[in-house]
Structure 1
Amino acid sequence: MTVATKNQLKLNVEKLNDDIRAFPQVHPITEDMKLTHKGVSRLVMLDRYTFKDTEKITLSEGDFVVLTIKEDPKFPARGLGYIVSIDWEAKTANVLVDEEYRGVLDKHEEIETGIVNRSLDVIEKPLEVFYEQIAKRNATGLASVEKTEDKRKEWFEKFYHELVTMNFVPAGRVLYGAGADTDVTYFNCYVMPYVKDSREGISEHRKQVMEIMSRGGGVGTNGSTLRPRNTLAKGVNGKSSGSVSWLDDIAKLTHLVEQGGSRRGK
């Protein structure tokens, strides 16, 4: 890739607005939009809270994307970049990583060119690149409960004003879910009821935890009701593995469940 080509990779607002037409939840970019945030705040906004083309039906060369730059099993690093080319058969893409995120690259060729080859599974295309788009989607979703069009318009304007001026910034699950027409929770965190000290109780608790995490909620569990390790389990004439082992099992769910499509469980 030539230097000239690299320099030409920048956000194509006209094309992105064309792509947005396929997603009624997303508001198009207008000339008055300017809030993109900076640094980590920008990456978190784009990675966690924006509406994305998850099926990649509009993904093409030149698109602005969020991707996993460092593929570490424990501590992967996310960053931003632009699609250089796509191999649909191999399901991979070459991405020119934004200079701000190249510090974690460790392969010589990647460091030299700034271009990485990654699976499409770890590449996402945000359709909302300005905070104003998120604010409009949120305001639309929150005002949608009103019964008349006039009331919906009135409350859209009120919500949008508070959101876009940042007089009020909702929790992350609201930013991600409101107006997105998805079955995710608007609550960030849940404190669970005590776990019943039985196999049935633990199984039911685990089921509820998985359901909450899959919809984007964080979960807090108090395991003090579970019997200690080596306590007699009369029904099977054996001993309990202890509360810590059961809580560890629930903790491991966080590595298995993707929260509302945007992050791992917690």
Structure 2
Amino acid sequence: MSTMQNQRLEGLSEKIFLDRYAWKDADTNNAKVGDVVLVLTKDDPKFPTKEVGEIVKREGRKVTVKTRKGELVESDVEKLTLTIEKTPEEMWDRLAAAMSSVEATPELQEEWRGKFREILDDWKLVPGGRIAAGAGASDELTLFNCYVIPSPKDSRGGIMETLS
């Protein structure tokens, strides 16, 4: 129930959305020509680099991806990040469905799905990153974000005191 047009993210915004928040397809064997993916362009253990692009060719386990910058990158399919969601609206639909799923009846679920979806539209409410990435996507992802606590005294006892 989107109340606005699909937002086209560009540049770094699109890369961050696809990498951090969009629901992923863990089976990159599903990648096909025309799919928008993140392709690993620098396989560095400390500072890897990914770029957004579209698969333009696939032969077995090898793909050719045309990046948003127009470069052609050849890659193994295993080094792709394949997303199910491509737009914020798709993420908002998933989040609204997940948040409303705890309601007791289908009618209440639908009512609250609509309310949540409306407040998510146009980034009026931005859930924390773990919530945006995990709600409705997988039972294996945590929905906990970081919590700020007072700085403990520099000792084991001080740490335990702060946590209690």
Same fold (TM over 0.5): yes
- Superposition map of 1:180-195 within 5 A: 180-189=137-146
**Matches of 2:10 and 2:155, distance apart in 1:** 43
What TM-score, normalized by structure 1, do the two folds share?
0.52
Structure-2 residue corresponding to 1:232: none
Structure-2 residue corresponding to 1:48: 20
- Superposition map of 1:102-181 within 5 A: 114-181=71-138
How many residues align? The count is 154
**Matches of 1:126 and 1:86, distance apart in 2:** 17
Go from structure 1 to structure 2 and tell me whether the alpha carbon gap of 1:160 and 1:184 turns closer, same or farther (over 3 Å shift).
same
Higher relative contact order (CA 8 A, sep 6+): 2
Aligned-partner SS, 2:115: helix
Identity of aligned residues (%): 33
Gaps of 5+ in 1: 1-26, 103-113, 193-221, 227-266
Go from structure 1 to structure 2 and tell me whether the alpha carbon gap of 1:71 and 1:48 turns closer, same or farther (over 3 Å shift).
same
**Matches of 1:118 and 1:184, distance apart in 2:** 27
Gaps of 5+ in 2: 158-164
Structure-1 residue corresponding to 2:160: none
Go from structure 1 to structure 2 and tell me whether the alpha carbon gap of 1:33 and 1:57 turns closer, same or farther (over 3 Å shift).
farther
Q: How large is the RMSD of aligned CA atoms in angstroms? A: 2.6
- Superposition map of 1:191-202 within 5 A: none
Letter in 2 for 1:120: V
Contact 2:28–2:78 under 8 Å retained in 1: no
Letter in 2 for 1:93: V
What TM-score, normalized by structure 2, do the two folds share?
0.81
Go from structure 1 to structure 2 and tell me whether the alpha carbon gap of 1:127 and 1:84 turns closer, same or farther (over 3 Å shift).
same
